[in-house]
Structure 1
Amino acid sequence: MSNRQDKPGAQEHLDPEALASPKVEPLRKPRKCPSCGKPSERKTYPFCSKRCADVDLNRWFTESYAIPAAEPGDGFEGQE
């Protein structure tokens, strides 16, 4: 079975400067944890820890956070 590197032009698309640089740039800018302000972690993004994620979830469950909504009227609007 032939190796991919054996084929002519197999490495023409590789940039030597990119290969020499061991640093990989992140896809998104680092963000702070919305609960405590520490840097967020990849595993628990956008939070810094499972604890902060759980604190945020508890705030939703206890209705500390709420999405405002208009209360529906007694009848249908637009009907006379």
Structure 2
Amino acid sequence: MSCPVCEKAADPAYRPFCSRRCADIDLGRWLTGGYAIPSDAPEDAEEAEPSRDRDTDDG
């Protein structure tokens, strides 16, 4: 098995990673939203749209 971050051989102590460093890199990607599953569901698209500022006057 190889490390999903750097492709080196996995270390049993940090499985599936090769080191604590790669495990921390992966955790950081999860916490910052670096991993996402694409979706075509309409309700997901609505959540992703930026909200309009209600305090601005358009006219």
Normalized against structure 1, the TM-score is what?
A: 0.48
Q: Deviation above 4 Å: which 4+ runs of structure 1?
A: none
Q: Give the CA deviation at 1:71.
A: 4.8
Any stretches of 5+ residues in structure 1 without a counterpart? 1-30, 75-80
Any stretches of 5+ residues in structure 2 without a counterpart? 47-59
Matched AA of 2:5: S
Larger radius of gyration: 1
> Looking at both structures, which has the greater relative contact order when contacts are Cα pairs under 8 Å and sequence separation is at least 6?
2
Q: Give the CA deviation at 1:62.
A: 1.0
Between Structure 1 and Structure 2, how many residues are aligned?
Answer: 44
Normalized against structure 2, the TM-score is what?
A: 0.63
